[in-house]
Amino acid sequence: MNKPFKIQVFGKPGCDKCTQLNKRLDKILANEDWADFEKEYCDVETVDGLVAFASAECINPQRIPAMLICKLQGETESYRPVAVREPLKEPHEICGKAKLYHFVGLQTDYTNAGKGIISPKMIKSVLQEAAGKS
C-alpha cells in the first residue's frame, strides 16, 4: 500500500551532503510521527533519477542535494508535488533560502548564509507543512 506522501531526494554518488541528507531523513522517518511519509532516492546520474529530477521542474541543478514532497493522488494513484500555500516573499525563518518557492521541499543553499546545510529542523519544517501540521 502506498503511503500518503513520498519524499523524492535528489542526489548523486560521492556527494557527502547527499549522504548526510539521506541519513538525516532516514532517522526522522524512523519515528512513528512520520509514518505517512516514504522516501524515494533519485540518483541524478542515472536515467531514471535524471527523468525524475527534470520532471520536478523546480530544483536548481547547482543546489543538489534537494528534496521534494509529493502527495498521493487517489484518483490516479500517482504522486504530485505539494504546492506551498503561499509563495515566499522573503527567506523562510527556519529554512532560509533552502526552501523551495512553489512546492514543498528544500534545496541546498551554498551561500555563506546557508553554508550548504539542510538541518533536521529544516526537514521537519517542510514535512509538517506538507502534512498540514504547521
How far is the C-alpha of 8 from the C-alpha of 94, rounded, in Å? Answer: 21
For the chain, the structural domain boundaries read 5-131
pLDDT digits (tens, 9 = 90+) for 114-132: 899 999 999 999 999 999 8
Q: Are 106 and 66 in contact (CB under 8 A)?
A: yes
CA atoms within 13 A on the CB side of 39: 20
What pLDDT sits at residue 87? 76
Q: Which of the four pLDDT bands, split at 50, 70 and 90, describes residue 91?
A: confident
Q: Note the pTM of the prediction, 2 decimals.
A: 0.92
Using pLDDT thresholds of 50, 70 and 90, give the confidence band for residue 34.
very high
Do 116 and 20 contact (CB within 8 A), yes or no? no
Residue 89: the pLDDT is: 73
CATH of domain 5-131: 3.40.30.10
